[in-house]
Structure 1
Amino acid sequence: MSEREKFDLLILNGTLIDGTGRSRFASDIGIIDGKIADIGDLSSAHSRQSIDATGLIVAPGFIDAHTHDDQAIFAEPKMVSKISQGITTVVTGNCGISSSPLPDRVPLPDPLNLLKLPLTERFKTFEAFLRAIDSHPPSLNVAPLIGHTTLRVFAMSDVSRPATLSEICSMRSMTKDALAAGAIGLSSGIFYPPAAAATKDELIGIGASLREYDGVFAMHLRDESDHIVEAIEEAFEIGRALGIQIVLSHHKLMRERNFGKSRVTVPMIQNAMRCQCISLDCYPYTAGSSMIRDDDFVNEGHIVIVSSESHPECTGRSLEDIAREFGMNRREAARQLQPGTATYHFMCEEDVREILQFEHTMIGSDGLQVGERPHPRLWGTFPRVLGHYVREVGLFSLEEAVRKMTSLPARNFGLKNRGTLSHGYYADISIFDPDSIRDQATYENPTAPSSGVVAVIVNGAPTYIAGQHTGLLNGSLAGR
């Protein structure tokens, strides 16, 4: 072996789960210049550095299919909350909210303000956002979507109404520019007030360039409760009109009267997949997290305040108790607590399992990097699937879980040369103990790192080793 043929890094004696869904097998991996150069018996090979993976699973780095890390990648470039789970790529800009394009000093409505963007020096074009990632990379890869709500804030003086034709044309042009620069698609969040007035035709008009660039359309549905079926149908219609793949974001059924309805929605999605391109993601919890709403949405269910700018002393308390103390109903109390975030305990375990085990479901954390008590999914999503749902519940095999976290999102989002352990692919690798991996983050202690993740490698760089971040920032843009 010549000096040039020496490996930069060897992973020895591991059990590989390659991300395709096939059975695990024993093998070594050799890495050169950030890519997988060899897979096989490399026990006699030479390398500058090696990792002994005896008794451990060696898998592709996990791809978080649904995040709101647009600003976090700059504010917290080590991204320990994600790297510590084995995540090596995040899909940003979901639910219609991306950090660009936005002008300076324009007030940001909920939920866009949850990204905690600076008042000035914002990214006025999506291309500028991508250039910033290139020049100041975080420790993981970024696959960015451009957000419909962000476009509305940029292009419209009043987001409480449908967009005019000229405004749609303006947003379509910005979307095309973003796709040309490297965005992997468009996202929408018509469930939220700043985009709720958007019509189906508005979304179709703005997304007209998606097919040209092979982009996806990730959708937070208009309704995830009583009108879930109609909302799914609307998403299907938009996908068919544009001739592109849609992603149903964090599929769920909210409110007790809708519990069990996944037995309707999952077959509905499966049937539609026969004639159009559809994918979906979910998170493995029965509670969601979002802005503090002040509509009928807060009149039922258990709601816990995560952050409140006007009443920070209420952090960690239930809305029911706060309303009682304030001497008002829950809607009025919620209005007093705005702006802020809350955890909504509105789902049932039966639906979570039904959606999670569906073969086409990807895994997404949907966490928000705000407040001292974020939803535990920010720190625990992927080990929770591998530990609780695979090892303890037996919902599906470890190979199937890894596929849902790697090759499935890589295929759905068109991420080239990522998602499997294959020759020539980027060396994004997660090494974990299948017997001890588990989430430690809870609603009471939501930022506890997971256990069992032994090493995480990003583009060939050992980034997280034995519970410690190495300080390397070797992420890049991951696109089509």
Structure 2
Amino acid sequence: MQGTLDLIIEGGWLIDGLGGPRRRADVGVAGERIAAIGDLSKMPAATRMNAAGKIVAPGFIDVHGHDDLMFVEKPDLAWKTSQGITSVVVGNCGVSGAPAPLPGNTAAALALLGETPLFASMTHYFDELRERQPVINVAALVGHANLRLAAMRDPTAQPTSDEQAAMQQMLADALEAGAVGFSTGLAYQPGGVAQPPELEGLARVAAARGAMHTSHIRNEGDAVEAAVDEVL
């Protein structure tokens, strides 16, 4: 590479995540990209950082977070960056920052998200993220509990055909807005009362768009095998 790098992290132990042994190597950065790896002792750089005795690694991915609303409330996310985390998957266990429940609907599981008000839709949530500019990456799942609470007058019951259709449309809209999939929290209410046809309808919406489904399964004790089979 020719030219001056913006940053060289030198003298550290490089663990690149590809499965090989750690090795001594310098890492050169240009803009927001890694531009060079190796012995960069003769490469000019605007800034040099001494990493002797330290590990240099790619940012870690937190695949199970409940920080949905913290990305809005505290976008510096210091408790993540201090651990080397640069990406977080939120919206787990069936609860997410959007869509917001119908008036009067609530669920104890929403307490996982804190006290910041939920957003009307994932479109509104993503608009707010773009405004706040959090310092790390976020991939958002849509919570099944949110879909029930936003679409059903009685989220403790089974959905009517219209309510099922509304949930599926909300999920489709969320995926179109940028959500990467949906999550279920079958160990909690109101997700715990959902029956297979409801979940299969939502899964078909996700599958048609190449999106994922993650689940906090219904049972993690004696019935764990049946709980895993249900989701599979």
Give the TM bin, normalised by the shorter chain: over 0.9
- Of residues 16, 19, 22, the one that matches 1:21 is 19
Structure 2: which amino acid aligns with 1:45? M
2:196 aligned partner: 200
SS where residue 193 of structure 1 aligns? coil
8 A contact 1:172–1:208 mirrored in 2: no
User: Deviations for 1:47-70, whole angstroms, at most 9, x for unmatched residues?
Assistant: 222211112111111111101000
1:414 aligned partner: none
1:9 aligned partner: 7
Distance in 2 (CA, whole Å) between partners of 1:28 and 1:8 is: 13
Q: TM-score, with normalisation over the residues of structure 1?
A: 0.46
Matches within 5 A, 1:417-456: none
SS where residue 208 of structure 2 aligns? coil
2:66 aligned partner: 68
RMSD over aligned CA atoms reads: 1.8
Distance in 1 (CA, whole Å) between partners of 2:103 and 2:152 is: 15
Query: Is residue 58 from structure 1 mapped to residue 62 from structure 2 by the alignment?
Result: no
Choose between structure 1 and 2 for higher RCO, CA contacts under 8 A separated by at least 6 residues: 1
Distance 1:103 1:153, change over 3 A: closer
8 A contact 1:190–1:196 mirrored in 2: yes
8 A contact 1:71–1:99 mirrored in 2: yes
Matches within 5 A, 1:273-288: none
- TM-superposed CA distance for 1:42, in Å, is 1.4
SS where residue 173 of structure 1 aligns? helix
1:136 aligned partner: 132
- TM-superposed CA distance for 1:213, in Å, is 2.6
1:39 aligned partner: 37
- TM-superposed CA distance for 1:113, in Å, is 3.1
SS where residue 8 of structure 1 aligns? strand
2:146 aligned partner: 150
SS where residue 38 of structure 1 aligns? strand
SS where residue 190 of structure 2 aligns? helix
8 A contact 2:102–2:150 mirrored in 1: no
Distance in 2 (CA, whole Å) between partners of 1:99 and 1:117 is: 11
8 A contact 1:103–1:123 mirrored in 2: no
- TM-superposed CA distance for 1:104, in Å, is 7.7
Distance in 2 (CA, whole Å) between partners of 1:57 and 1:116 is: 34
Distance in 2 (CA, whole Å) between partners of 1:17 and 1:214 is: 31
1:314 aligned partner: none
Distance 1:91 1:102, change over 3 A: same
Distance in 2 (CA, whole Å) between partners of 1:160 and 1:103 is: 13
8 A contact 2:145–2:189 mirrored in 1: no
Matches within 5 A, 1:322-337: none
Aligned residue pair count: 232
- TM-superposed CA distance for 1:112, in Å, is 1.0
Distance 1:106 1:31, change over 3 A: farther
SS where residue 200 of structure 2 aligns? helix
Distance in 2 (CA, whole Å) between partners of 1:179 and 1:30 is: 36
Distance in 2 (CA, whole Å) between partners of 1:233 and 1:48 is: 55
- TM-superposed CA distance for 1:103, in Å, is 5.5
- Of residues 81, 84, 90, the one that matches 1:83 is 81
SS where residue 211 of structure 1 aligns? helix
Distance in 1 (CA, whole Å) between partners of 2:119 and 2:48 is: 40
Query: Is residue 210 from structure 1 mapped to residue 202 from structure 2 by the alignment?
Result: no
SS where residue 61 of structure 2 aligns? strand
Distance in 2 (CA, whole Å) between partners of 1:177 and 1:20 is: 36
Q: TM-score, with normalisation over the residues of structure 2?
A: 0.93
Distance in 1 (CA, whole Å) between partners of 2:219 and 2:201 is: 21
- TM-superposed CA distance for 1:217, in Å, is 0.6
Structure 2: which amino acid aligns with 1:170? A
Structure 1: which amino acid aligns with 2:32? G
Distance in 2 (CA, whole Å) between partners of 1:218 and 1:54 is: 40
Structure 1 segments, 4+ long, off by >3 Å, are: 103-107
Distance in 1 (CA, whole Å) between partners of 2:40 and 2:160 is: 62
User: Deviations for 1:279-319, whole angstroms, at most 9, x for unmatched residues?
Assistant: xxxxxxxxxxxxxxxxxxxxxxxxxxxxxxxxxxxxxxxxx
8 A contact 2:102–2:149 mirrored in 1: no
2:178 aligned partner: 182
Distance in 2 (CA, whole Å) between partners of 1:171 and 1:54 is: 53
8 A contact 1:99–1:117 mirrored in 2: no
8 A contact 1:175–1:207 mirrored in 2: no
1:363 aligned partner: none
Query: Sequence identity, in percent?
Result: 39
Distance in 2 (CA, whole Å) between partners of 1:50 and 1:167 is: 58
Structure 1 window deviating more from structure 2 (148-157 vs 36-45): it is: 36-45
8 A contact 1:12–1:51 mirrored in 2: yes
